[in-house]
Amino acid sequence: MSEITGQNFIAGVRSAKGSTTLQSIGAADGQVIDLKFIEATPEEITTAAESAAEAFAAYRTTSPEVRATFLETIADEIDTLGEDVIKEVIRETGLPEGRLNGERTRTSNQMRLFAKVLRRGDYLGVRIDRADADRTPPKPDIRQYKVALGPVAVFGASNFPFAFSVGGGDTASALAAGCPVVVKAHPGHMVTSEHVANAITRAVEKCGMPKGVFSMVYGDRVGAQLVQEPAIKAVGFTGSQKGGRALFELASQRDEPIPVFAEMSSVNPMLVLPQALEQRGEQIAVDMASSVVLGCGQFCTNPGIIIGLKSEAMSRFTAKLGDELKAKPGQVMLNPGLVENYKRGVERLNALDGVEELATGESEGQYQGAARLFKAEKHVLFEHQSPLFEEVFGPCTVVTEVDSPEELQQAARSLNGQLTATLIAEESDLTTHQGLLPILEERAGRVLLNGYPTGVEVCDAMVHGGPYPATSDSRGTSVGTLAIERYLRPVCYQNYPDAFLPEPLKNANPFGLMRLIDGENSRDAL
């Protein structure tokens, strides 16, 4: 285990030119951890961004195989973060050991999955339209593929110290795309961040990558400058709506605006349909309660609102859900700030006219969050921009009953943009309420059936995105292999002889890619 120095990682050099220091706080005890992190100076941030731009010219043209090996080396280095590191992460985040071990493996496997994508090569999106000299006017030879956007600024989330942070999905997809990365370390887990940054730095060295391909800066106030650095060409962010929106606006107001992929806010509606409630309401309540308190509710995909048709079965379900949540033990939240934030969210709900708290779980001490169940009258749901759609980050959910299938559709239509939307339903429910699914599809990035959104599979087909305010750009996903497309743009070559074309576009098809040739998919050489 490397020693923690608290210095910034500036293109392969540890640097601490500033005098402002930050410290991590133990999640479970609120105690300051005795390690100092030095906030990056404006000059250090500029150096990180400009080094990334300098590295970009070489890194973007590395072969997919070279980048795949680099990602696999990062994965191996992340896997070496052992029990002693996990102990420090537990201290910083309050997350349990089993979860963190799993998350570390998920993170290294994510790197390996992007290595697979690089070798598969479909991300290159090759399209070839061959010349036709006999046409009037003559048709030129045009060949398209996708190239990297440029250096990416990554803002990790507090809630996944491995999987959505320094070495998480944004970093993996950006590095895979051929984009150098400058990470702003999350102040909630700086010790963890430094360990992962060391792992990535070792991989950079082992693979002989240009040093500027990875930098990481510490600091509370460094984010605004980072997004405004001219050398930065895209931003990946996971966090609050306020934070994501602020970065989005800074990025839009630059002389050269850049794309921002901010994954921000979602209440992940659960529509529980009548037949399902009749047949297995109790089990649904049990499973729902587990999903609500998973990770102390600190998931972007936490089920924050449950909507059903008024019925005996719905009442029984609600009562059972309350009993389940009451019995859930309190859990340490990621940091004292989030405990305060959760408190404010609960107070906000309690202050709403037509909302009552039905159940409160256990909690011990001031650093734990207790499970909560609220019930809202339907008029609160049907308010314009309902206050129920404002995320409460923590182990909390709100049940609402509506009176008719039409009102259920109305409720679905009233939803704003969501990461997920779920139907808990029997097949007969789906048939009776078949109008719901297309409405949910319009409002969410992922629609689930009889599952809970808190599990986010890392795979080709996953979408962890959705219309605003779930994200700032619904055309992207921050989980799954499609995430690479956020950091790519198309370029075409017109009339270049084979010898001067990039490898993916050459006649011989040296990468063995599936290519769109004159409108037909083919792996053939030309």
Q: Tokens standing for 457?
A: 């599979």
Nearer of residues 342 and 389 to a copy of itself, judged by Cβ: 389
Q: Which of 78, 149, 272, 399 binds a copy of itself (CB under 8 A)?
A: 149
Has 263 been annotated as catalytic?
yes
Q: What is the 3-state secondary structure (H, E, C) of 391-424?
A: CCCCCEEEEEEECCHHHHHHHHHHCCCEEEEEEE
- Site membership for a copy of itself, residue 406 (CB under 8 A): no
Q: In what helix (H) or strand (E) does residue 3 lie, and over which residues does it extend? A: none
- Site membership for a copy of itself, residue 516 (CB under 8 A): yes
CA 232 to chain centre: 20
CA distances from 289 to 98, 102, 292, 389, 436 (A): 20, 22, 5, 19, 24
- Site membership for a copy of itself, residue 442 (CB under 8 A): yes
Nearer of residues 224 and 491 to a copy of itself, judged by Cβ: 491
Q: Which of 14, 36, 60, 506 binds a copy of itself (CB under 8 A)?
A: 60
For residues 447 and 373, what is the distance between their CA atoms, to the nearest angstrom?
23
Q: Which of 194, 263, 324, 391 is catalytic?
A: 263
Nearer of residues 57 and 327 to a copy of itself, judged by Cβ: 57
- Site membership for a copy of itself, residue 495 (CB under 8 A): yes
For residues 189 and 32, what is the distance between their CA atoms, to the nearest angstrom?
12
Q: Tokens standing for 306?
A: 């449950």
Nearer of residues 1 and 491 to a copy of itself, judged by Cβ: 491
Q: Is 309 helix (H, G, I), strand (E, B) or coil?
A: strand
Q: Which stretch binds a copy of itself (CB under 8 A): 168-176, 221-229, 393-401, 432-440?
A: 432-440
Report yes or no: 374 and 400 within 8 Å, Cβ to Cβ.
Answer: no
Nearer of residues 13 and 516 to a copy of itself, judged by Cβ: 516
- Site membership for a copy of itself, residue 514 (CB under 8 A): yes
- Site membership for a copy of itself, residue 248 (CB under 8 A): yes
Applying CB under 8 A, the site for a copy of itself has a residue count of: 75
Instruction: Please state the closest distance from residue 319 (CB atom) to a copy of itself, in A.
Output: 27
| Total Cβ atoms within 10 A of residue 229 | 21
Q: Which of 296, 300, 324, 391 is catalytic?
A: 300
Q: Which stretch binds a copy of itself (CB under 8 A): 32-40, 73-81, 256-264, 310-318?
A: 256-264
Nearer of residues 185 and 262 to a copy of itself, judged by Cβ: 262
Q: Which stretch binds a copy of itself (CB under 8 A): 152-160, 328-336, 360-368, 464-472?
A: 464-472
Report yes or no: 520 and 128 within 8 Å, Cβ to Cβ.
Answer: no
- Site membership for a copy of itself, residue 199 (CB under 8 A): no
- Site membership for a copy of itself, residue 127 (CB under 8 A): yes
For residues 494 and 144, what is the distance between their CA atoms, to the nearest angstrom?
9
Phi, psi for residue 506 in degrees, rounded to 5? -70, 150
- Site membership for a copy of itself, residue 491 (CB under 8 A): yes
Has 300 been annotated as catalytic?
yes
Residue 326 zone, left/alpha/beta (φ > 0; ψ -120 to 50; rest):
alpha
Q: So which residues are the catalytic ones?
A: 263, 300
